[in-house]
Structure 1
Amino acid sequence: MNGDDVNEHGTDEDGATARANEILRTEAGSGVHGLAIAGVSDHDEAGVFIEPAEHVLGLAGPLDHHTWRDRPEGHRSQAGDRECTLYSLRKFLRLAIAGNPNLLLLLHAPEASVYHSTPLGDELRALGPAFLSRHAARRCIGYLDGQVAMLLGRGRQKDMPKRPELVAAHGYDTKFASHALRLGLQGLEMTEHARLTLPMPAGQRERVLAVKSGKVPGLDTVLAEITAVRDRIETLLDTGRTPLPAEPDTDRVSAWSVRAHLRHWDAAAPAA
């Protein structure tokens, strides 16, 4: 990000603090899934920073995340636009432990999509399997359902489809449809194999790209495919035929977080 970026959250000082304490940053969005379309897709990044001690133990107040965008809030991103969100480690861990599929990506991104990682960032990524659970798989279903609701015009007003050009061209919002199918396929991989492959495996990636680019005619066809994947996940979870543990390894993640904060603060402390 450069000096022309739009600061969407907090002050410039907050942004400088987040960047100075960054431990991990990776590609996010369609790029890390392998679903970016040249000349169409924007570029997303996400990362993690450790709040200075005064924001956690002192009176400076929490600094939970900071976002920069090329375009102001409320303006649709265009091809090549960039957006980066850095999350405090504490916020990131809370969301990832809760199964947020967008943040789990940072822990499973391929090396080519890792733009910055300190030793603590490497340790955080090594903890990736501790976050995968049946709870996380069900969160994927929840996110999938949200995309389908918006695809059908049933979402909250602010989340309603805003891509009339896609509806006019293909009869439905192909981007919402591709998000729903992608979430389903990734949730199914997680449920069947207790892993998350990025970029998506070739066959799955090609199918999602076909939906995204409008090559799958008819909303009913796409919805039937999404429903079949969703039902498969539900069946595996309901019958217990999954290698996933019921819950993430919260104790392990929490203990590492304490050590990581102390190590980071010790390294940042001025020499006596």
Structure 2
Amino acid sequence: MNFAIENHTIFLGLGGSIAHGTSHATSDVDLKGVCVAPLNVRLSLFESFEQGEGDLPKGLEARVLPQLQEHPEAARGLSQKLECTIFDIAKFLGLCASSNPNALEILFTDPTDWIIETPTWQTIYAVRHAFLTTRVQHSFVGYATGQLRRIQNHREELIKNGGPLDSRNAARAELERKFGYDTKHAAHLVRLLRMALEALETGELQVKRKDAHELRAIKDGAWSYEDLIDYAEKIGVAIKDAAVRSALPDQVDRQFVDDLMLAIATESLVA
């Protein structure tokens, strides 16, 4: 990264299980953010920036850590691991426009989980519903299908080898030994499918989950593998039906998104 990202960050919030309300004592802290890269970086042929991920940038530590220490779930997770992903605004808005689940979750992060906010972010957040379209059917279900495929592959591995391969994450491997499949992936799968259905039916994307207790229970093995497969099939049918009846548009208003991007970029030049 070739610029002081702390001077250009317009939003930083909690992501992952803390944002969903499903964290537990060993959950990591995931920070998700958006910045407006400076013009010289944006126009450079050699030093472009789309996203950065890994450790929390040093320039943000002093600003962010005190707030994390005051957040109950985040404070607990700091003893585990802290990771940070920050998107440039152009990459972020493009992902939102294509109904990328990870980007939309940032856009719809509950304000109680905001760590850094700015007037620019408030402007974007105020028009967040303009980015919800029926494409969530395919994007969220696509991600959920990926989770299901991993569950099935790992389960086949478990049956074939009598246990997960040694290269698997130890905690995840233990879940598979205990319950016969990866229950953490299962909880993610159920959450993604429910979020898609809710968005299509209500026009809202619920990141902070009202069903957090049940999702934690699924992660802890409350559902059998057969329960999961049966549920995935049934909600998949409901999602298809909801997409047909949904009041959401089929795609974003591209001119609106371009105008929003132009306004933000122009504002950054005179700030």
**1:140 positional shift:** 0.5
Partner amino acid, structure 1, of 2:212: R
For residues 69-108 of structure 1, the C-alpha deviation after alignment (integer angstroms, 9 at most, x for no partner) is 38xxxxxx99731111000001111111111111111221
Contact 2:54–2:83 (Cα < 8 Å) also in 1? yes
**Is the Cα–Cα contact under 8 Å of residues 13 and 32 in structure 2 kept in the other structure?**
yes
| Structure 2 CA distance for partners of 1:124 and 1:207, relative to 1, 3 Å | same
CA displacement 1:142-168 (0-9 Å, x = unmatched): 11101000111179xxxx964211101
Q: Deviations over 1:166-194 (max 9, x none)?
A: 10111110011111000001011001111
Aligned length: 239
Alpha-carbon shift at residue 219 of structure 1 (Å): 0.3
Alignment equivalent of 1:236, drawn from 214, 237, 242: 242
Contact 1:18 1:66 in 2 (8 A): no
**Is the contact made by 1:40 and 1:78 (CA closer than 8 Å) also made in structure 2?**
no
Which structure shows the higher helix fraction?
2
Counterpart mapping for 1:75-154 below 5 A = 80-153=80-153
Q: Is 2:30 aligned against 1:44? A: yes
User: Which secondary structure state, in structure 2, belongs to the residue aligned with residue 168 of structure 1?
Assistant: helix
Q: CA deviation at 1:245?
A: 0.8
Match of 1:223 among 229, 240, 243: 229
Tell me how large the CA RMSD over aligned residues is. Answer: 2.2
2:84 match: secondary structure: strand
> What SS does structure 2 have at the residue aligned with 1:164?
helix
**TM-score, L = length of structure 1:** 0.82
Q: Which residue of 1 aligns with 2:13?
A: 26
Does structure 1 conserve the Cα–Cα contact (< 8 Å) formed by 2:99 and 2:135?
Answer: yes
* Residues 1:266 and 2:270 aligned together: yes
Seen in structure 2, the aligned counterparts of structure 1 residues 28 and 130 have a Cα distance that, compared at 3 Å, is same
3-state secondary structure, aligned to 1:51? coil
Match of 1:251 among 243, 252, 255: 255
* Cα shift readout 1:225-252 (whole Å, capped 9, x = no counterpart): 1221122101222xx2111111122221
| Structure 1, unpaired ranges of 5+ | 1-10, 71-76, 268-272
Amino acid corresponding to residue 33 of structure 1 in structure 2: H
1:180 aligns with 2:224: no
Identity %: 26
Q: How does 1:152-167 map to 2 (within 5 A)?
A: 152-153=152-153, 162=169, 163-167=172-176
Residue 266 of structure 2 aligns with an amino acid whose one-letter code is: L
Distance apart, 1:131 and its partner CA: 0.8
**Counterpart of 1:196?**
205
Counterparts of 1:170 and 1:137, CA distance in 2? 29
2:213 to 197, 201, 206: 206
Give the structure 2 partner of residue 270 of structure 1.
Answer: none
Distance 2:89 2:42 in 1: 11
Quick check: 2:154–2:181 contact (8 Å CA) kept in 1?
no
Residues 41 and 79 in structure 1, CA contact (< 8 A), matched pair in contact too? no
Q: 2 CA distance for matches of 1:228 and 1:207?
A: 18
Change (3 A) 1:79 1:152: farther
TM-score after normalising by structure 2: 0.82
Code of the aligned partner of 1:96: C
- 2:178 maps to a residue whose letter is A
Aligned amino acid, residue 214 of structure 2: R
